[in-house]
Amino acid sequence: MLKVAVLVSGGGTNLQAILDAMDSGKITNAKVSVVISNNKNAYALERAKKHGIEALCISPKDFEDRAAFNQAFLEKLNSYQVDLVVLAGFLVVLPEAMIKQYRNRIINIHPSLIPSFCGKGYYGLAVHEGALARGVKVTGATVHFVDEGTDTGPIILQKAVAVEQGDTPEVLQRRVMEQAEWLILPQAIDMIANGKISVCDGQVIVNE
């Protein structure tokens, strides 16, 4: 059974998609052991509690500096002995020590088709604003492993979503969530939980 930690900063719609997929059997051989947020007001924490999952807040604001926060955060995460860390809208830069310790065991969902509209500054609505400003006809979402860069780790899954006439960033954001994010993030977790993917030389290998 794959033990999963989900890190969130906001409403937790991707967390909900994971929990729903586990309840319906679309994700097998995995369970969410803990949900951690940097924001004590994140609704994602309530979603976790409603599912009987331990939910806690560890905020950089509660520590004298980022180094102290990073150490406390990693120690708390390690205490749960999880196999996989899922970033589901987590707006905190991960400490390098955590990335090294959890190499190829941290995944992230990004609301574009990487390498488009990703990297520093591209998160939340800014991603969709960028897509609309560029005039692209197709956008989507990407699940990838996390490395030391920003949105640069090996890609696991991508799903395309059409950009429609008259889209606003908010409308496009919702469509990308519904048609891509909420589908491929649970799918990636299920693949990992059942040994269907591995990483070799920075590339994701699908094991049949």
Give catalytic status of residue 51 as yes or no.
no
User: Which residue among the candidates 51, 110, 128, 144 is catalytic per the annotation?
Assistant: 110
Backbone torsion region of residue 114, taken as left when φ is above 0, otherwise alpha when ψ lies between -120 and 50, otherwise beta: beta
- Of the candidates 119, 58, 84, the one whose C-alpha atom is nearest the C-alpha of residue 197 is 84
108 strand-pairing partners:
87, 144
SS (H, E, C) the chain: CEEEEEEECCCCHHHHHHHHHHHHCCCCCEEEEEEEECCCCCHHHHHHHHCCCEEEECCHHHCCCHHHHHHHHHHHHHHCCCCEEEECCCCCCCCHHHHHHCCCCEEEEECCCCCCCCCCCCCCHHHHHHHHHHCCCEEEEEEEECCCCCCCCCEEEEEEEECCCCCCHHHHHHHHHHHHHHHHHHHHHHHHHCCCEEEECCEEEECC
Query: Which residue numbers are catalytic?
Result: 110
